[in-house]
């Protein structure tokens, strides 16, 4: 199944955290990295703290949605993720954005991700790797949010994955 994953970090070495997360995601059972977006810097939304680095990756996985979520939470925890309060700054944040065409509303997981359509740091990278998934009016709705490309996908993801 195709799963689009949002990645973000704004504490510590955020770039290294995202690279490490992509490696860890690629190493999940029955999971293969397909492609990733460029790396973007964005201001926190509904929160304080330093700018985030964000990206979106596409995985091909046989993991069920909740199993994928739990594996991602383990990756976050291994990266030192703490949850002291809502929208606290993070060493690593991983979100299942889309899982095929599945629509799910649960206590642990809602798909598509409920706030993704309100976030430039999700929509711009997602539109880069899956333009058919983001409509122009959705991008226009978040155009007022500051977001800057800081590295092309090949510069930060592809080269790092080849080192594995």
62 contact partners, CB below 8 Å, separation of at least 6: 1, 29, 30, 31
Distance of CA 107 to the CA centre of its chain: 20
- Do residues 125 and 150 make contact, with C-beta atoms less than 8 angstroms apart? no
Return the active site residues: 81, 90, 93, 95
The pTM of the full predicted model, rounded to 2 decimals, is: 0.93
The mean pLDDT of 135-163, rounded to a whole number, is 84
The mean pLDDT of 144-164, rounded to a whole number, is 77
Residues 65-112 pLDDT 10s:
999 999 999 999 999 887 766 777 889 999 999 999 999 999 999 999
Tally of CA atoms within 13 A in the half-sphere of 92 that contains its CB: 23
Quote the DSSP letter at residue 126: H
The answer on pLDDT for 156 being more than 90 is: no
pLDDT of residue 164: 52
The mean pLDDT of 43-69, rounded to a whole number, is 93
The answer on pLDDT for 160 being more than 70 is: no
Percent of the residues in the chain that have a pLDDT greater than 70, as a whole number: 94
Residues 114-127 pLDDT 10s:
999 999 999 999 99
* Domain 2-162, CATH homologous superfamily name and number: 7,8-Dihydro-6-hydroxymethylpterin-pyrophosphokinase HPPK (3.30.70.560)
């Amino acid at each position: 199944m195709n799963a689009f994953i949002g990645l973000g970090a704004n504490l510590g070495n955020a770039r290294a955290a995202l690279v490490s997360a992509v490696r860890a995601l690629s190493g999940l059972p029955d999971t293969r990295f397909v492609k990733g977006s460029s790396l973007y810097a964005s201001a926190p939304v509904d929160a304080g703290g330093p700018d985030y680095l964000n990206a979106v990756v596409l995985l091909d996985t046989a993991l069920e949605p909740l199993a994928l979520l739990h594996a991602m939470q383990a990756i976050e925890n291994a990266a030192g993720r703490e949850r002291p309060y809502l929208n606290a700054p993070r060493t690593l944040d991983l979100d299942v954005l889309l899982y095929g065409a599945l629509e799910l509303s649960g206590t642990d997981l809602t798909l598509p991700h409920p706030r993704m359509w309100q976030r430039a740091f999700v929509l711009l990278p997602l539109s880069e790797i899956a333009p058919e998934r983001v409509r122009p009016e959705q991008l226009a709705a978040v155009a007022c949010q500051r977001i800057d490309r800081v590295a092309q996908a090949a510069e930060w993801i592809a080269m790092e994955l080849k080192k594995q």
